[in-house]
Amino acid sequence: MPSTAALVSQAFNGLALGSLLALVASGLTIILGTLGVLNFAHGALFAVGAYTAFVMMQATHSFVLALLGGCAIMLIIGFAMERLVIRHFYARPDEDQILVTYGIGIVLVEALRAYFGGNSQRVPVPSWGIGATKLGFMVYPTYRLQLIGIVAALLAGLYLVLYRTSVGLVVRAGIENAGMVGILGIDVRRTFLFVFAVGIVAVGLAGMLYAPVVAVTPDMGASFMVQSFVVIVLGGLGSFPGAVIGGLIAGEIISLTSAFDSAYSEVMLYGLMALVLVARPQGLFGTEGRV
Amino acid sequence: MSLLEVERINTLYGDSHVLFDVSLHVAENEVVALLGRNGAGKTTTLRSLMGVLKPRSGAIRLNGRPIQGLAPARIARAGMQLVPEERAVFGGLTVEENLRVARLTAEKPWPLDRIWEVFPRLKERRTSRGRTLSGGEQQMLSIARALIRDPSLILLDEPFEGLAPLIVQDLVELTKRLAADGRTIVVVEQNVAAVLSFADRVYGFNNGHVVYEGRAADLRADAAPMRGFMGLAA
Ligand SMILES: Nc1ncnc2c1ncn2[C@@H]1O[C@H](COP(=O)(O)OP(=O)(O)O)[C@@H](O)[C@H]1O
Ligand SMILES: [Mg+2]
């Protein structure tokens, strides 16, 4: 039996992992809901985000500048992907969309491997995040606490855009019925481009923020992608609140199970997903209308 | 010049040819009904006008401007507004949010208060999500979403279908008021009696062909011509 302190510390790890999963899954689920495309390149883009942090950090020696530059790069990648490839697949069958996004993912990962090599890279913890913070009952790495705060702020920002702006209104309507949004005079193609780019920046940011905590490798996004697929199924396809709550639940399950035996963490995650799907096939927050 | 002119459009779903040389015209302030059995091609006609389906050939002009081949969003901004058969209310959005989406790209949108005047029931439910509305309320919202854009032409696809008689009565009254206000409307409806009570002109559809064109007043006086496109029901 792990000690209480160890469990509490794992619960915080779960919060950090869960909030990152929430950010990754948010982009995935909004893209799926609005564009109808399941983006299998999402894991690769997570790694691309981490590598942009690595490169920008070496160039600027400032984590904040690295994040800003990284966002700009992810934005360009998102725009280019949607304009050059994805938009030509909206009307195509699901299999084609899966194949093309999966293919883009492979190309990106192999490009990273070709350029940076297969060995892992390290991104230093930002100067303002070095060390540990006393929380009274335990000591916890400062950057991980900040990570939770930053991701929470990003998710709150995403919430405000989705629920308090006209663009967000159009996105939420488009998740339910993009065709009807078009009939009401709104150019859905521009909305699609916006949604895709935001989703790509979100997953890229998750990769950048995670980079100082782990070894940066070309394949680092693979497990994140599988887990975030589970998250969006758990939360309800196309649901932003579902992705956030689902992400947090998944993060806690994985981390807390690891405190006992890490071999079982994914098993527990899939077990929970199965249970939820039996009780609520549409996921926690899913409805026929979604969101 | 008619507000809407449709010249010999042909529309297909994949390889299946559904509309054959459909021509019709709608003058300003006119209420035109499209009648016909299930599967006759009425919905397909409305979807072709709105740009949801692209006719293979033929011409569609709104206010003299050709609109065939344009995306629905462009056609909506040219002044046409479809209220679809399935109503397509955004279930996760509130009543008010549904209306706000609709008015975003309208040139001269109605103020919300004007919508609330026409639909007091929707005002009561303004913060309710679309999916919690009754069928009649959803139909009102779907019509309200079109009206708030102040379109020059409204296409109503079976607005009374599946609703309780009392609610149908309300909606018929509403449609009559819209007609009296000089709105131009194309309406598809199985409830022939209801539709003939406010329509000016009628097109009869059969198997994707327009087989009848005439005045609603004539059909009210003598329903015999309807047998050709409505079958025994008429
Ligand atoms: N999505 C579709 N794909 C293929 N055929 C369709 C589709 N929608 C309608 N049809 C066919 O087109 C014809 C006309 O349908 P529709 O326009 O919906 O008729 P109406 O509205 O007059 O009842 C019918 O034969 C119907 O089966
Ligand atoms: Mg129909």
Residue type (1 letter), A160: L
Residue A136 has pLDDT above 90, yes or no: no
Q: Please, which residues bridge with residue B6 across strands?
A: B24, B60
- Contact assignment for A186 to B82 by CB distance below 8 Å: no
Instruction: Give the pLDDT band (50/70/90) at residue A289.
Output: very low
Residues in chain A with CB shorter than 8 Å from the CB of B105 are: 184-186
* A171 touches B: beta carbon within 8 Å: no
- To the nearest whole Å, the CA of B234 is away from the closest chain A CA by 33
Out of A252-266, B16-30, B128-142, B201-215, which region has the weakest mean confidence (pLDDT)? A252-266
Residue of A nearest to B78 (CA): A185
Q: How far is CA A101 from CA A40, A133, B178, in A?
A: 5, 41, 49
Residue A187 has pLDDT above 70, yes or no: yes
- Predicted complex ipTM: 0.95
Instruction: Give the pLDDT band (50/70/90) at residue A194.
Output: very high
CATH number of the domain enclosing B220 = 3.40.50.300
Average pLDDT over residues A53-75: 96
Q: Which helix (H) or strand (E) holds B125?
A: none
> Which pLDDT does position A286 carry in this prediction?
84
> Which pLDDT does position A262 carry in this prediction?
87
Q: Quick check: is B95 in a domain? A: no
Pairing verdict, β B153-157 and B185-188: parallel
Domain that holds residue B215: 1-76+195-234
Q: Helix, strand or coil for residue A275? A: helix
Average pLDDT over residues A119-148: 92
> Which pLDDT does position B231 carry in this prediction?
73
Residue A291 has pLDDT above 50, yes or no: no
> Which pLDDT does position B232 carry in this prediction?
58
- To the nearest whole Å, the CA of A177 is away from the closest chain B CA by 7
Q: Quick check: is B59 in a domain? A: yes
Q: In B63-175, at which residue ranges do the beta strands (DSSP E only) sit?
A: 65-66, 80-83, 153-157
Tell me the helices (H) and strands (E) count for chain B, helix number first: 10, 10
> Which pLDDT does position A135 carry in this prediction?
86
- Contact assignment for B73 to A289 by CB distance below 8 Å: no
The overall average pLDDT reported for chain B is 95
> Which pLDDT does position A290 carry in this prediction?
44
* Nearest protein Cα to ligand 1, atom 4: B13
Out of A233-242, B55-64, B153-162, B222-231, which region has the weakest mean confidence (pLDDT)? B222-231
Nearest to B52 among A176, A183, A186 (CB): A183
Q: Model confidence over A95-106: pLDDT tens digits?
A: 999 999 999 999
**Pairwise CA distance, residues B27 & B21, whole Å:** 20
Contact B16, B176 (CB under 8 A): no
- To the nearest whole Å, the CA of B87 is away from the closest chain A CA by 9
Average pLDDT over residues B82-100: 97
Residue B234 has pLDDT above 50, yes or no: no
Q: Model confidence over A162-175: pLDDT tens digits?
A: 999 999 999 999 98
Instruction: Give the pLDDT band (50/70/90) at residue A1.
Output: confident
Q: Please, which residues bridge with residue B192 across strands?
A: none
- Contact assignment for B104 to A180 by CB distance below 8 Å: no
Rg for chain A, CA atoms, rounded: 19
The overall average pLDDT reported for chain A is 94
Q: Model confidence over B178-232: pLDDT tens digits?
A: 999 999 999 999 889 999 999 999 999 999 999 999 999 999 999 888 888 887 5
Q: By C-alpha distance, which of A8, A25, A16 is closest to A147?
A: A16
Q: Please, which residues bridge with residue B206 across strands?
A: B209
Tell me the two tokens of residue B190: 């199985």
Q: Which residues does a 6 A CB cutoff place in the pocket of ligand 1?
A: B 13, 16, 18, 36, 38-44
**Residue B206 vs residue A289, higher pLDDT:** B206
| CATH no., domain A8-279 | 1.10.3470
Residue B103 has pLDDT above 50, yes or no: yes
Contact B150, B106 (CB under 8 A): yes
Burial annotation A21-42 (CB, 10 A radius, 16+ → b, else e):
bbbbbbbbbbbbbbbbbbbbbb
* Nearest protein Cα to ligand 1, atom 19: B39
Cα A234 from chain centroid (whole Å): 15
- Contact assignment for B71 to A184 by CB distance below 8 Å: no
Instruction: Give the count of Cβ contacts less than 8 A between chain A and B.
Output: 82
Q: Quick check: is B38 in a domain? A: yes
Give the total number of structural domains in chain B.
1
So where are chain A's domains? Answer: 8-279
Q: How far is CA A96 from CA A36, A38, A192, in A?
A: 12, 11, 18
Instruction: Give the pLDDT band (50/70/90) at residue A5.
Output: confident
